[in-house]
Amino acid sequence: NAGVTQTPKFQVLKTGQSMTLQCAQDMNHNSMYWYRQDPGMGLRLIYYSASEGTTDKGEVPNGYNVSRLNKREFSLRLESAAPSQTSVYFCASGTELDTEQFFGPGTRLTVL
Amino acid sequence: AQSVTQLDSQVPVFEEAPVELRCNYSSSVSVYLFWYVQYPNQGLQLLLKYLSGSTLVKGINGFEAEFNKSQTSFHLRKPSVHISDTAEYFCAVSGWGGYQKVTFGIGTKLQVIP
């Protein structure tokens, strides 16, 4: 099992460009999440999907959109990147039973 | 609403010394509690979790944590640290029952000094 995979690992964008971060899991989990990690701020939830076909906003959704393509895949889109979106982005999946989460390796995004 | 406070942003400790990383939480409902570890340039991985039952929880790599309901704490301990324990540690909390969002603390960086 690969667990949770994310692509790309690194990305540099110019202000105003768009991009999609991809995430896939092979653990048959219903729940999937997108977080951003910034120094001194821990992990902040951007969007989550409790099950296939549903998505909900988290703590910091502005400037982002998501798509739960199927049970395995959950993508995060930046329509018009801003320097404030420079961060490390983590995708995670989890079980509803006890909310343990399994994390991908992260995407380091720099917006110039 | 729920929240997590990690009281120390950085903890330096000498190799083979004991360590305690502190975590306090607040919640209006019964909780599940977690500690995750993040090694440099990696994602988070679960260290241990408290769901119910015994308040002393043992995890991987010799770590353990104790759930104290009266003090709303879930401190992480290890009796003797190794260089390889150098990492960032995150405490997290979620409510019981069905789907619940997880709230993470801001993390504690453990630096093991040789």
What pLDDT is stored for residue B98 in this prediction? 57
Q: A9-23, A30-44, B32-46, B91-105: lowest mean pLDDT where?
A: B91-105
Alpha helices for B19-107 (secondary structure H): none
Encoding tokens for residue B101? 């969002």
Mutation target among A27, A99, A101 for the B interface, most CBs of B within 10 A: A99
Is residue B107 within 8 Å of residue A42, measured between CB atoms? yes
The length of chain B is 114
pLDDT at A70 over 60: yes
Is residue B108 within 8 Å of residue B9, measured between CB atoms? yes
Nearest-CB residue to B106 (from A41, A90, A96): A41
Residue with more model confidence, B89 or B52: B89
CA dist., res. A45 & res. B23, Å (int)? 20
Encoding tokens for residue B80? 């003797």
What pLDDT is stored for residue A12 in this prediction? 97
Nearest C-alpha in B relative to A48: B101
Nearest C-alpha in A relative to B90: A42
pLDDT at B52 over 90: no
**Burial of A18 from C-beta contacts in 10 A (0-12 / 13-18 / 19+):** exposed
Q: Tell me the pLDDT of chain A averaged across its residues.
A: 93
CA dist., res. B12 & res. B111, Å (int)? 5
Asked if the Cβ–Cβ distance from A105 to B104 is below 8 Å, we say no
Nearest-CB residue to B45 (from A43, A99, A103): A103
Q: pLDDT category, B41, cuts 50, 70, 90? A: confident
Q: pLDDT category, A19, cuts 50, 70, 90? A: very high
Asked if the Cβ–Cβ distance from A43 to B104 is below 8 Å, we say yes
Question: Coil, strand or helix: which one is A44?
Answer: strand
Is residue A55 within 8 Å of residue A49, measured between CB atoms? yes
Question: Coil, strand or helix: which one is A73?
Answer: strand
What pLDDT is stored for residue B114 in this prediction? 95
Asked if the Cβ–Cβ distance from B104 to A41 is below 8 Å, we say no
